[in-house]
Amino acid sequence: MKNRLNINFLGKKLNNPIMTASGCFGYGLEYKDYFNPNELGAAVLKGITMEPRNGNPGTRIAETPSGMLNSVGLENPGIEEFKKIIPSIKKELHIPLVANINGKILEEYIEIAKEVEKITEIEMVELNISCPNV
Protein backbone atom coordinates (compact mmCIF):
# COMPACT_ATOMS: atom_id res chain seq x y z
CA MET A 1 0.00 0.00 0.00
CA LYS A 2 1.32 3.41 -0.95
CA ASN A 3 2.13 5.75 1.94
CA ARG A 4 -0.67 8.29 1.73
CA LEU A 5 1.22 10.80 3.87
CA ASN A 6 4.02 11.36 1.35
CA ILE A 7 4.10 14.98 0.22
CA ASN A 8 6.11 17.21 -2.06
CA PHE A 9 7.14 20.31 -0.14
CA LEU A 10 9.11 22.98 -1.99
CA GLY A 11 10.34 20.38 -4.45
CA LYS A 12 11.47 17.94 -1.73
CA LYS A 13 9.82 14.58 -1.15
CA LEU A 14 8.85 14.13 2.49
CA ASN A 15 7.57 10.88 3.95
CA ASN A 16 4.93 12.89 5.79
CA PRO A 17 4.05 16.53 6.50
CA ILE A 18 5.27 16.50 10.12
CA MET A 19 8.24 18.76 10.84
CA THR A 20 9.69 19.99 14.08
CA ALA A 21 9.36 23.60 15.17
CA SER A 22 12.63 25.51 14.86
CA GLY A 23 14.38 26.03 18.15
CA CYS A 24 12.41 23.26 19.87
CA PHE A 25 14.23 20.23 18.50
CA GLY A 26 17.89 21.11 18.87
CA TYR A 27 19.89 19.50 16.09
CA GLY A 28 17.59 16.52 15.75
CA LEU A 29 19.38 13.87 17.77
CA GLU A 30 18.45 15.08 21.24
CA TYR A 31 15.13 13.24 21.10
CA LYS A 32 16.29 9.90 19.74
CA ASP A 33 15.90 8.26 23.18
CA TYR A 34 12.17 9.06 23.01
CA PHE A 35 11.31 8.26 19.40
CA ASN A 36 12.98 7.72 16.03
CA PRO A 37 13.43 11.18 14.48
CA ASN A 38 13.61 9.51 11.06
CA GLU A 39 9.86 9.04 11.30
CA LEU A 40 9.44 12.79 10.80
CA GLY A 41 8.98 14.39 7.40
CA ALA A 42 11.87 16.79 8.09
CA ALA A 43 13.81 18.28 10.99
CA VAL A 44 13.94 22.04 11.34
CA LEU A 45 17.15 22.59 13.27
CA LYS A 46 17.98 25.02 16.06
CA GLY A 47 18.57 28.55 14.81
CA ILE A 48 22.05 29.49 13.62
CA THR A 49 23.83 32.84 13.35
CA MET A 50 27.11 33.88 11.76
CA GLU A 51 28.88 34.25 15.11
CA PRO A 52 28.45 32.03 18.18
CA ARG A 53 25.86 33.34 20.66
CA ASN A 54 25.71 32.61 24.39
CA GLY A 55 22.03 33.43 24.47
CA ASN A 56 20.24 35.40 27.15
CA PRO A 57 21.46 35.35 30.76
CA GLY A 58 19.33 34.41 33.73
CA THR A 59 16.14 32.41 33.77
CA ARG A 60 15.38 31.30 30.23
CA ILE A 61 12.27 29.22 30.71
CA ALA A 62 9.36 29.85 33.07
CA GLU A 63 6.34 27.62 33.50
CA THR A 64 2.96 29.34 33.48
CA PRO A 65 -0.55 27.98 34.21
CA SER A 66 -1.24 27.74 30.48
CA GLY A 67 2.17 26.76 29.08
CA MET A 68 5.60 28.30 29.26
CA LEU A 69 7.54 31.43 28.44
CA ASN A 70 11.03 31.31 27.06
CA SER A 71 13.83 33.75 26.41
CA VAL A 72 16.72 31.61 25.23
CA GLY A 73 18.18 34.28 22.96
CA LEU A 74 19.22 32.08 20.02
CA GLU A 75 22.10 30.35 21.77
CA ASN A 76 24.12 28.56 19.07
CA PRO A 77 27.70 27.68 18.12
CA GLY A 78 27.86 29.90 15.01
CA ILE A 79 28.01 28.92 11.35
CA GLU A 80 31.58 27.57 11.32
CA GLU A 81 30.87 25.04 14.10
CA PHE A 82 27.47 24.28 12.54
CA LYS A 83 29.21 23.30 9.30
CA LYS A 84 31.38 20.84 11.25
CA ILE A 85 28.55 19.10 13.12
CA ILE A 86 25.99 18.73 10.33
CA PRO A 87 27.68 15.80 8.50
CA SER A 88 27.61 13.65 11.66
CA ILE A 89 23.96 14.57 12.25
CA LYS A 90 23.06 13.61 8.67
CA LYS A 91 24.66 10.18 9.20
CA GLU A 92 21.91 9.45 11.73
CA LEU A 93 19.04 11.48 10.30
CA HIS A 94 17.93 10.30 6.87
CA ILE A 95 15.26 12.96 6.52
CA PRO A 96 15.58 16.44 5.03
CA LEU A 97 17.33 18.92 7.33
CA VAL A 98 16.13 22.53 7.41
CA ALA A 99 18.51 25.24 8.60
CA ASN A 100 16.91 28.07 10.56
CA ILE A 101 19.03 31.15 9.88
CA ASN A 102 19.12 34.37 11.86
CA GLY A 103 20.58 37.82 11.38
CA LYS A 104 20.25 41.36 12.63
CA ILE A 105 20.24 43.02 9.20
CA LEU A 106 19.52 41.92 5.63
CA GLU A 107 23.20 41.61 4.75
CA GLU A 108 23.72 39.15 7.62
CA TYR A 109 20.88 36.96 6.35
CA ILE A 110 22.43 36.98 2.89
CA GLU A 111 25.87 36.13 4.25
CA ILE A 112 24.65 33.21 6.36
CA ALA A 113 22.40 31.94 3.54
CA LYS A 114 25.45 31.77 1.27
CA GLU A 115 27.33 29.78 3.92
CA VAL A 116 24.43 27.38 4.47
CA GLU A 117 24.10 26.86 0.73
CA LYS A 118 27.58 25.25 0.80
CA ILE A 119 26.41 22.57 3.26
CA THR A 120 25.21 19.72 1.05
CA GLU A 121 23.37 18.00 3.92
CA ILE A 122 21.03 20.98 4.36
CA GLU A 123 18.10 20.75 1.96
CA MET A 124 16.02 23.78 2.93
CA VAL A 125 16.38 27.10 4.73
CA GLU A 126 13.95 28.81 7.06
CA LEU A 127 14.37 32.52 7.80
CA ASN A 128 13.97 33.41 11.46
CA ILE A 129 12.49 36.87 11.30
CA SER A 130 10.25 36.78 14.34
CA CYS A 131 12.26 35.79 17.41
CA PRO A 132 10.83 38.13 20.05
CA ASN A 133 13.61 37.80 22.61
CA VAL A 134 16.65 39.04 20.69
- Residue 133 above 70 pLDDT? no
Domains located in the chain, CATH noted: 7-127 (3.20.20.70)
pLDDT in tens, 75-128: 899 999 999 999 999 999 999 999 999 998 999 999 999 999 999 999 999 999
Which one of 7, 72, 131, 134 is the catalytic residue? 131
pTM of the predicted model, to two decimals? 0.87
* Residue 131 is among the residues annotated as catalytic for this protein: yes
DSSP string, 122-133: EEEEEE----TT
Strands of 43-44's sheet in order across = 43-44, 97-101, 122-127
**What is the reported pLDDT for 68?**
86
**What is the reported pLDDT for 5?**
87
